[in-house]
């Protein structure tokens, strides 16, 4: 029989927050979270590849770029329809980021 050293089950720990985060209010933490998401590439958001390709062809590369677009501008993109608009709207709603889409 092989004897193993250490615990038989790995323990996971919550990573410690940066010391400065504990002094931030909830609204400041939310603002920081939103700023981090705004800089994120659309390819890293979980949107389908087809949607990302359509948006990148139109020059929309980040979440911030998407929030600046209106519904009419997005629907004018080739191969971008109501269903694709719904996916983008759901993404922004799930991230709790203000946007111009309806």
Which CATH number do you get for residue 95? 1.10.150.20
- SS3 assignment for 6-54: CCCCCCCCCCCCCHHHHHCCHHHHHHHHHHHHHCCEHHHCCCCHHHHHH
Residue 56 is assigned to a structural domain of this protein: yes
Residue 8 is assigned to a structural domain of this protein: no
Give pTM, 2 decimals: 0.70
pLDDT band at residue 52 under the 50/70/90 scheme: very high
13-51 per-position pLDDT tens digit? 555 556 666 777 878 877 777 788 888 899 988 899 999
What is the number of structural domains in the chain? 1
Residue 28 is assigned to a structural domain of this protein: no
Domain that holds residue 85: 46-102
């Amino acid at each position: 029989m092989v004897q193993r050293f250490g615990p038989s089950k790995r323990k996971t720990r919550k990573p410690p927050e940066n010391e400065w985060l504990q002094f931030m209010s909830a609204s400041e933490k939310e603002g920081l979270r939103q700023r981090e998401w705004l800089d994120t590439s659309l390819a890293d958001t979980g949107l389908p590849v087809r949607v990302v390709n359509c948006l990148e062809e139109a020059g929309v590369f980040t979440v911030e770029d998407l929030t600046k677009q209106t519904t009419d501008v997005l629907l004018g993109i080739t191969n971008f329809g109501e269903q694709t608009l719904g996916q983008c709207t759901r993404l922004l709603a799930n991230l709790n980021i203000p946007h111009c889409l309806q």
